[in-house]
Amino acid sequence: MIVILKPEATESLVKDIVSQIESLGLQAHLSRGQFRTVIGVVGEEVKVDPEHLKSINGVEQVVPIMKPYKLASREFHKEDTVIEIACPQGGVVKVGGPHCVAIAGPCAAEDEAMVFQLAREVKQAGATVLRGGAYKPRTSPYSFQGHGEDALKWLRDAGRENNMPVITEVMDTRHVQIIEKYTDIFQIGARNMQNFNLLFEIGRTRKPVVLKRGLAGSISEWLMSAEYVLSQGNRQVILCERGIKTFEQSLRYTLDLSAVPVVKQLSHLPIIVDPSHAAGDRQYVPSLARAAIAAGADGVMVECHDNPAKAMCDGPQALLPDVFASLMKDLIAIAGVLRRSFSGAADSTSRQSAGAAMGHNVF
């Protein structure tokens, strides 16, 4: 940490700050410049609260050198984390390192039949994890809020039938226990990226979590939210970029694909991309999904529906299953250019040969 003093800072202020730093078992290095004095703090800077130092009259700026997160940081964990998710009938889906994941399914689990139908279709198209909403965060209190535990059962059963792990969103600390009974992966939505108590609770479970980036979440804040989960012992965090709020309003949000290489540089955690919520309009989803994989993302999460005009939520962004199937072919090819693969895709009988071939030339 570096403390930059105001030009008018007195000698006694300098002494006072130095002694505060030393009383914490740290060393203070002074540089007196022509215009300002600068104090370098040497040691574990996590011991000093930068806000305390900033609150002192005479301090102009405090520049942290270390990242505020540790468990999420690549500095202390050089290798990519690879998360393995057990499939209900055996096998695992891997996310991270050389492994990309394709997650697909409906926005909301609307009824049992549609969940089973879509699960089969997205599996056939190459998805290896099934998504679906049971508790839905809706902007309006008058909108459909999800089918709750019934939906959780449909998803679990459809996942079992197709040997796909299931992911569903948790919005409330009171729901963690019931959702944990049914789901393989928790999803924390963009609006809950800084719901800190929820992060703590999910951190105390032992199931993987997809942590979406908040609409106003800086990459640093997002990694701090991951740190909340990691700090409780749950090390299976997958980050998910899904768009931020900017002045550009031609799509619902602005997908920040720069986040992919930046997160890779700062953290060892896998990062996937949700192009559906970013775009809010199906015609842009394939382009953004391709760009995500080319940017180096560890997977995509895509919403599908057999009849978008009848969807109970987010119909405009849902892909028809056959469009998704065609997209998957492009994604697999682009991943191949980067010497990566959608590992689980090989389990799908329809893709057996391609998958096997890919298995050879990739790692």
Task: Show contacts with a second copy in window 261-280 (CB under 8 A).
Answer: 261-262, 265, 278-279
Least Cβ distance, residue 213 to a second copy (angstroms): 10
Residue 255 as a binder of a second copy (CB under 8 A): the answer is yes
Residue 72 as a binder of a second copy (CB under 8 A): the answer is no
Least Cβ distance, residue 183 to a second copy (angstroms): 18
- Cβ closest to a second copy, residue 162 vs residue 236: 236
Between CA 265 and CA 246, with CA 256 as vertex, the angle to 5 degrees is: 135
* Interface pick for a second copy out of 9, 151, 171, 325 (rule CB under 8 A): 171
Residue 29 as a binder of a second copy (CB under 8 A): the answer is yes
Residue 353 as a binder of a second copy (CB under 8 A): the answer is no
> Cβ distance 128 to 92 under 8 Å?
no
- Cβ closest to a second copy, residue 123 vs residue 305: 305
Residue 192 as a binder of a second copy (CB under 8 A): the answer is yes
Least Cβ distance, residue 160 to a second copy (angstroms): 29
Residue 204 as a binder of a second copy (CB under 8 A): the answer is no
Please state whether 152 falls in left (phi above 0), alpha (psi between -120 and 50) or beta: alpha
How many Cα atoms within 13 Å fall on the side-chain side of residue 63? Answer: 7
Cβ neighbours for 272, distance < 8 A, ≥ 6 positions apart: 95, 101, 103, 210, 238, 239, 240, 241, 292, 297, 298, 299, 300, 301
Euclidean distance between CA atoms 68 and 79, whole angstroms = 20
- Cβ closest to a second copy, residue 164 vs residue 202: 202
* Interface pick for a second copy out of 22, 65, 177, 181 (rule CB under 8 A): 65
Residue 311 as a binder of a second copy (CB under 8 A): the answer is yes
- Cβ closest to a second copy, residue 87 vs residue 108: 108
- Cβ closest to a second copy, residue 181 vs residue 310: 310
Residue 7 as a binder of a second copy (CB under 8 A): the answer is yes
Least Cβ distance, residue 157 to a second copy (angstroms): 26
Q: List, in sequence order, the alpha helices (H) in the chain.
A: 11-22, 50-54, 112-125, 149-162, 176-182, 196-203, 219-231, 259-266, 275-279, 285-295, 321-337, 352-362
* Interface pick for a second copy out of 161, 173, 235, 323 (rule CB under 8 A): 173
Residue 51 as a binder of a second copy (CB under 8 A): the answer is yes
- Cβ closest to a second copy, residue 12 vs residue 337: 337
The distance from CA 99 to its chain's CA centroid, rounded to whole angstroms, is 16
Residue 259 as a binder of a second copy (CB under 8 A): the answer is yes
* Interface pick for a second copy out of 66, 86, 356, 357 (rule CB under 8 A): 66
Both structure tokens of 225: 């939210």
Euclidean distance between CA atoms 307 and 25, whole angstroms = 64
* Interface pick for a second copy out of 12, 23, 249, 361 (rule CB under 8 A): 249
Residue 38 as a binder of a second copy (CB under 8 A): the answer is yes
* Interface pick for a second copy out of 10, 19, 150, 191 (rule CB under 8 A): 191
Instruction: Indicate the angle between helix axes 219-231 and 259-266, nearest 10 degrees.
Output: 50
- Cβ closest to a second copy, residue 125 vs residue 327: 327
How many Cα atoms within 13 Å fall on the side-chain side of residue 110? Answer: 18
Least Cα distance to 76 among 276, 250, 291, 235 occurs for 235
Residue 206 as a binder of a second copy (CB under 8 A): the answer is no
Span 110-169, contacts to a second copy by CB under 8 A: 137-143, 145
Three-state helix/strand/coil letters over 2-53:
EEEECCCCCHHHHHHHHHHHHCCCCEEEEEECCCCEEEEEECCHHHCCHHHH
Number of residues lying near a second copy (CB under 8 A): 106
Residue 170 as a binder of a second copy (CB under 8 A): the answer is no
Three-class DSSP category at 234: coil
